[in-house]
Chain A
Amino acid sequence: MRLPGSRRNVEKLVDQHYPSLYRYAYRLSGSAADAEDLTQEAFCHAQSKLGQLRDWDKAKAWLFSILRNAYLHRVRAQKHAPVVSLDGVGDLPERLPEPLPEVDPQCLQQALKELPEAFRTPIVLYYFEDFSYRAIAEQMDLPLGTVMSRLARAKAHLRSRLLAAPAGVPANGTRGAKNGL
């Protein structure tokens, strides 16, 4: 369905998607202020390009794609933050303690921030329930196998940083030296 760029349609998009879009922006940027800016920027862009949205059912993926482009545009202009290498991280899950420890929100955001964007985006999309592997692949314009490989490594990183037994976690919280993170 071709949608005219009317105020009502844009507001409908906001009503339906602003929480998930904000959360996605927050997980990408790690900052509430940046997340709000990115969300506003994404909706403004969507408002000006609403004629490109042919299928209302794909509005969420479309908005997420706009927001990611805005984020990438922004980070390219900034100095890159230090990220960890995932070369040494295996696909197999770590041995995890029982019961699982609570996930500390700050540690989670720090662990996400350590990931390169190419790994952070799929893992965030993965945990946003509506995105299938195929949808993530389309969103990132990547082959399905590449997405699954990145997801496995990013999940392993998150598990080792957030859920692994305390004895196996170095004091600084990173496993980069030993595991290639």
Chain B
Amino acid sequence: MDCKSAHMLLTLARPWAPELDAIEAQALRDHLAGCPACAAEAAREERVERQLGQAVRDVPIPEGLHGRLLHRLADDRAARLRRRMVRVAAVAAALLVAVAVGWYVRWSMRPSVDANEIALLFERRAYNAPVKVEEWFLNQRGVVMVAPTQVNDSPLNYALLDSYEMAEFQGVLVPQLVFFQPGPGAALARIYVLSDRSFNPDETLPASAVGSSHRVEVFGHPDNPHLVYVIVYTGESLQPFFITHPRGA
């Protein structure tokens, strides 16, 4: 190692925290052992660094600083706890207000009973053609269904259609059409439209509810094997719900 390299390493070396690796440090020591000029410079550098380092670190610590720090930290913890409690209380209060406002809005916006609207609704839903019923289920309930038009070649009388809506059938919501025949011997027929995705049409049990005032008939769609109609009706037969043609007509 020459003096120039030694000088460079001396600028890196620190007397209290060696920055040189073992090989560099040994090479520098070897050089200093044989070079009085560099050794003198190294000694001088070390004195200067120690003196400046000592001067920089020589800062008197104020009396009681440790205690004041701990006290300030305790105050800071207490303040943070208070802020957290205030935040929690604010959130709780906001939730409470939101719930109260929501309840009040809901309470104040309860719908009033509009007899006229109900009457118009049923008026609108009565007297419909099958295609209108299908459109209603599609548009209002998002359900694709095929309304029955006839039972065993007998056409259903849609003038008797009273209402239609989704209804529960053995735990499944399915389209339901209600036909009503007023007058003496009034009769009611509910037609449930079932899909083979929800029910197994091949295992339909025969209606044998002995003692029930209702009768049940099950029939399929003539063109769509996936559809099954279940008719629950009062009366002796389904005849009142069919369109009757005068003899000879």
Hey, which bits of chain A sit against chain B, CB under 8 A? 7, 10-11, 14-15, 18-19, 22-23, 26-27, 32, 35-36, 39-40, 43-44, 47-48, 91, 93, 96, 100, 103, 105, 108, 112, 123-124, 127-133, 148, 152, 155, 158-159, 162-163
Contacts and interface: CB of A to CB of B under 8 A. Distances in A.
A93 B69 contact: no
Interface of B: 11-12, 16-17, 19, 44-45, 47-48, 51-53, 55-59, 61-62, 65-66, 68-70, 72-74, 76-77, 80
B72 A44 contact: yes
A39 B59 contact: no
A170 B76 CA distance: 48
Contact of B48 (A32, A35, A47, A163): A163
Contacts, number: 92
Given A22-B61, A36-B62, A93-B48, A103 B69 contact: no
Contacts of B47: 100
Contacts of B55: 103, 105, 108, 162
The listed residue with most B CB atoms (<10 A of its CB), out of A27, A100, A127, A163, is A127
A19 B56 CA distance: 13
Given A44-B73, A127-B57, A36 B52 contact: no
A127 B53 contact: yes
A40 B72 CA distance: 7
Contacts of A36: 62, 65, 68
Nearest to A158: B52
B68 A40 contact: yes
B19 A44 contact: no
B76 A14 contact: no
A91 B73 CA distance: 43
A127 B44 CA distance: 17
A110 to B, nearest CB: 12
Given A27-B56, A127-B56, A127-B57, A100 B73 contact: no
A128 B54 CA distance: 9
